[in-house]
Amino acid sequence: MEQFSQNPFQPGVRQAVFNPDQLIAGPLQVVTDTGIIAKAGILRRGAVLGMITSSGEYVLSKKDAADGSEKPCAILVDDVDTTADAVSGGLYLMGEFNQNRIIHDDTWTATELKAALRPFSVFLRDSVQA
């Protein structure tokens, strides 16, 4: 009789489930970078960000801002907590994104964001359903 004690290998079957959030909506190659996210609380993956001209930090883009962040230019890759201080975070700088999954300030409409993000090669569209 064979025993499997103190052996890291355990015979059996395991399963993991991947549940995509459908933020990325097309085959266009995404381009990412790292940037400093300004102290502003908790921001979620998919937030549309603008860059503050004077500091180079990213914040949630608001159409009525006057500090440079009124120009949306990036989408947040992962959730970040900037409650205590500014943090480094991942940014999507180019790609096709699901307009129904992005998070944006109420000063923007989806149609306005589509036009504002296009010069940065960030395209908003409906996701393709299989």
CATH code at position 91? 2.40.300.10
Least Cα distance to 76 among 86, 90, 56 occurs for 90
Convert the pLDDT of each residue in 40-98 to its tens digit.
999 999 999 999 999 999 999 999 999 999 999 999 999 999 999 999 999 999 999 99
How far, in Å, CA of 94 to CA of 121, rounded? 5
What is the residue range of 113's domain? 31-125
Query: Would residue 5 count as lying in a domain?
Result: no
Number of folded domains in the chain? 1
Query: Would residue 70 count as lying in a domain?
Result: yes
pTM check: above 0.75: yes
Query: Would residue 130 count as lying in a domain?
Result: no
Convert the pLDDT of each residue in 94-125 to its tens digit.
999 999 999 999 999 989 999 999 999 999 99
